[in-house]
Structure 1
Amino acid sequence: MTHIFSQESQLNTEAQRTLWQQVRHQRLTTADGITLAYGRIDHPSPKGTIVISNGRVESYLKYHELIFDLYQAGYQIFAIDHRGQGLSSRTTHNHHQGHIDNFDLYIDDFSHFIDEVVLPNAQGQLYLVGHSMGGCIGSLYMQSKPSTFKAAVFSAPMLGIRLPINRGFIRWLANLLDSQRRQQPPNYILGGKDYSPHPFKGNDLTYSQARYEDYLHIYRDEPQLQLGSPTNRWLVEAIDASEQAIFAARDTQVPKLILQASEDSIVDNQAQNRARSQHCQVVPIADARHEIFMEKDTPRNAALTQLLQFIEQHP
């Protein structure tokens, strides 16, 4: 089936705004008192249900265009904001810090969301779409619960982080500087700072100026979404979890597709290649930076076509 996707020259169309009014914005509380925000949109005749696991600093509000396209393709959709970001509870005194005490908390939250919200309401087979950190979370979740999802598609998954120097040294330094080891509040990585919007020129995320500026407008209009640099603890936890996620993606017997951004400078494409196996395909997306789903139309359409063809192969 040929799908028609939205265009960067026509963002926030009347059809998209009308559909967005049907999204239910809801919340779920975890055992440790964290409030997780999520969006849900049901479909009158769904082919199945897609769960979106987003990346660091993201919110499901940023995914309005992707949700529109996946809905038009025939899917019911659930999308969660991970703890410490988006519309979910912050876990630090400084709400701009991207922080996690233990990466397993992301997995536990996601599992709670699936059990309490998604499974009781899903229609048809379940599919996972994870971007960046959300792909890492999804890989580790499926390692522990391989029967939940029929298939998964990961966009530029965080199976390794692009670092300026040796990974082992960066981890050692971040662990050394982690103020929580001294029973103090979390602290930023070296050079880390609160949120500040970056102009399109020189950005590492996308070649699409229209989609990039749309993303900035969302974060300007919803200041509670704004998130700055990660903390030292987040970096240590993320480095360790990324390495574990390589083996989870490679070995877990759930069909997986990695959409690899050919010009990614945020995550490590070589780490993604290490996950390649009979259970995990890797497809490069040409002319794409890290944010494949907010790229220019040609790479974005190629990625969405691959995504939909892959999950339609696993009905």
Structure 2
Amino acid sequence: MNAQVDPNGPRLVNIASNPVPEGARPGYFMTSDRVRLRYALWPKSAGPQRGTVCLVQGRTEYIEKYFETIEDFRRRGFAVATFDWRGQGGSDRLIPNRTLGYVDRFDDYVTDLRCFHAEILLPDCPPPFYLVGHSMGGLVSLHTATRDRLMFDRMFLSTPMVGLHNMDESLGRSRIISETLSFIGLGHMPLARRGDRRPDEAMYPNNPLTSDMLRYKRMVETVRADDSLYLGSPTFRWLAAAMRGMLETRSDAFPGDIRIPLLILAAARDTIVSTPAIEQLGLRLRTGRHMVIPNGRHELFMETDIIRGQVLAAFDAFITEQTA
């Protein structure tokens, strides 16, 4: 295994099936509450300069998982800036068991994004800024958009975590249970799930993420090359924080507080987040709309070429053509 190394910063895992795109500038930055986060920047690779895509990931993810998608954006004339959320990837882990997903409050993720915008995007990246967010990153992006409509010119969200699959009616009860367990001192305890174990090729046939075997295998090989990227089960504290964040999107005021042009993509075969919840939010937006990608599983950017082609065509229509 080789690595892309900044003498004063982190490395990016570089393997044959998932090479680091040329021109990477990895580094660390510190949030306002003193959490060290790993980030990476890339310049555009073709065409006129169209601005910067700020790419934010889902739960358990890491910069390396998006190398292919980063190249897609760069070829369209966009610089790319991305980082690992607190508690995952190459950023600071927050509790002694670094394999468990933990956050004190969901607003801490909003702090991560706002600090990245202030500390890295504004001084180091060409404007305008376009946010692309997946799953949990999409939920963080929505919350950020209700508070500051000037950070990004447009938002493009893939399967945002505004609800969980088959939990639309029970999300409130689950939040109360998770918060109660956290209150009595069990917030660091995991909700153990079979799907949260380290990925391997044998898990592909029944995986909920992608129907593309080679891209699934690439995810497996990347974590196998650097096990420190692995993140497993969520803790009850993370669940309580995330469920509160999801439930807030259902308030009457929430959609109207989003004033940024927004396109949301849902996946027709998603069994991780709730496609009906995404559709309900999409119908209530004032400055945005949604669409459902047929046959797509949860990770649309990791799907087959046919499905990814639809996702990138939607990106082009909503983002790229606006910069031409």
CA shift digits 1:227-285 (9 cap, x unpaired): 00101111111111112245645541111001111110111111111222331211111
Contact 2:32 2:111 in 1 (8 A): no
Q: What SS class does the counterpart of residue 97 from structure 1 fall into? A: coil
Helix, strand or coil at the partner of 2:102 = coil
1:278 equivalenced with 2:300 (yes/no): no
Superposed displacement of residue 183, structure 1: 4.3
Within 5 A, what are the aligned runs for 1:86-101?
86-101=89-104
Unaligned runs of 5+ residues in structure 1 are 1-11
Corresponding residue for residue 219 of structure 2: 215
> What is the number of residues matched between the two proteins?
300
Gap change, CA 1:40 and 1:295, over 3 Å in 2? same
Q: Which amino acid aligns with 2:258?
A: T
Per-residue deviation, residues 201-220 of structure 1 (Å, max 9, x unmatched): 11011100110010111111
Residue aligned with 2:206, SS: coil
**Could you tell me which residue of structure 2 aligns to residue 203 of structure 1?**
207
Partner Cα distance (1:185, 1:158) in 2: 21
Identify the residue that residue 24 of structure 1 maps to in structure 2. 25
Identity, % of aligned pairs?
30
Q: Normalization by structure 2: what TM-score?
A: 0.87
Alpha-carbon distance between aligned partners in 1 of 2:296 and 2:138, rounded to the nearest angstrom: 17
Give the Cα–Cα distance (whole angstroms) in 1 for the partners of residues 271 and 194 of structure 2: 18
Distance in 2 between the 1:124 and 1:49 partners? 6
Look up the match of 1:261. Answer: 267
Normalising by structure 1, we get a TM-score of 0.89
CA RMSD across the alignment: 2.1
Contact 2:51/2:126 (8 A) holds in 1: yes
Q: How far is the alpha carbon of 1:170 from its aligned partner?
A: 1.7
Equivalence for 1:237 = 241
Aligned residue number for residue 312 of structure 1: 320
Distance in 2, Cα, partners of 1:254 & 1:108: 19
Shift of 1:189: 1.8
Distance 1:240 1:207 in 2: 31
Deviation at 1:31, TM superposition (A): 3.0
Partner of 1:141: 144
The 1:169–1:192 alpha-carbon spacing in structure 2 relative to 1, beyond 3 Å, is: farther
CA distance in 1, matches of 2:232, 2:274: 21
Aligned residue number for residue 155 of structure 1: 158
What are the ranges of 5 or more consecutive residues in structure 2 without an aligned counterpart?
A: 1-14
Number of the residue aligned with 1:66: 69
CA distance in 2: counterparts of 1:219 and 1:22, whole angstroms: 22
String of CA shifts for 1:175-198, please: whole Å, max 9, x gaps: 2322xx234661112557974225
* Per-residue CA distance 1:132-189 (angstroms, 9 max, x = gap): 00000111111111011111000000111225572222222222322xx234661112
Query: Where does residue 78 of structure 2 map in the other structure?
Result: 75
Which residue matches 2:179?
175
Letter in 2 for 1:253: R
> In 2, Cα distance between the equivalents of 1:64 and 1:208?
16
SS of the residue 1:201 aligns to: helix
